[in-house]
Amino acid sequence: MSDAKLAIVFYSTYGTNHAMALEAADAAREAGAEVRLVRAPETAPQDVIDQQEPWKAQQEKMADIPEATADDMEWANAYLFIGPTRFGVIASQIRSFIDTLGGLWQNGALANKPVSAMTSAQNPHGGMETTLLSLYVTFMHWGGIIVAPGYTDQSVFDAGGNPYGTVTTAGNVSDEAKAAARHQVRRLVEYADKLA
């Protein structure tokens, strides 16, 4: 049994990052971790979402998944963030949730915990690496311990070779991306156990 308590915080507009989060949660549970799968609160106006059927359908599909809270972050001893790339950085819904965590950060409650991230974009050169790196800058401000996959497993190469975190193109959660995500999560759980 693992001592890891992993909060997987994700945001998904059309389903790609939801699928990645589910894959990550399964891998973490298989590794023995206790998992809280939570979604970043929606910040887009509901009338805008309602005008785009795929977005509305995805919102309904995730309705049973609780919204992320500061309590989830305090409970966890490891974090995985998953969300889409928007103009080379993480989607505003993830950013908005992070911006609510100032009190925890100020009290040191986010420090010394392993953290990792995954993302997707419309195309392979849509800013995925800058998205992950910008998230890691935030995690460094927390005093988090970044656990990137690096080139530590063949699955990283098979999924496109991104050492910063698992990435995929929108609508395409391939078997290779799933394998890379599973490796990244197992590595994160392993380091959470070492620190626990």
pLDDT for 70-93, tens place per residue? 999 999 999 999 999 999 999 999
Residue 1's pLDDT is 79
pLDDT tens digits, 105-123: 999 999 999 999 999 999 8
- 161-183: buried (b, 16+ CB within 10 Å) or exposed (e) per residue? ebebbbbbbbeebeebbbbbbbb
170/164 Cα distance (integer angstroms): 18
Band the pLDDT of 125: cuts 50, 70, 90. confident
Average pLDDT over the chain reads 96
147/138 Cα distance (integer angstroms): 14
Sequence ranges of the domains in the chain: 5-195
What tokens does 149 get?
């996959």
Q: Give, in words, the CATH class of 5-195.
A: alpha beta
The yes-or-no verdict on residue 49 having pLDDT over 90 is yes
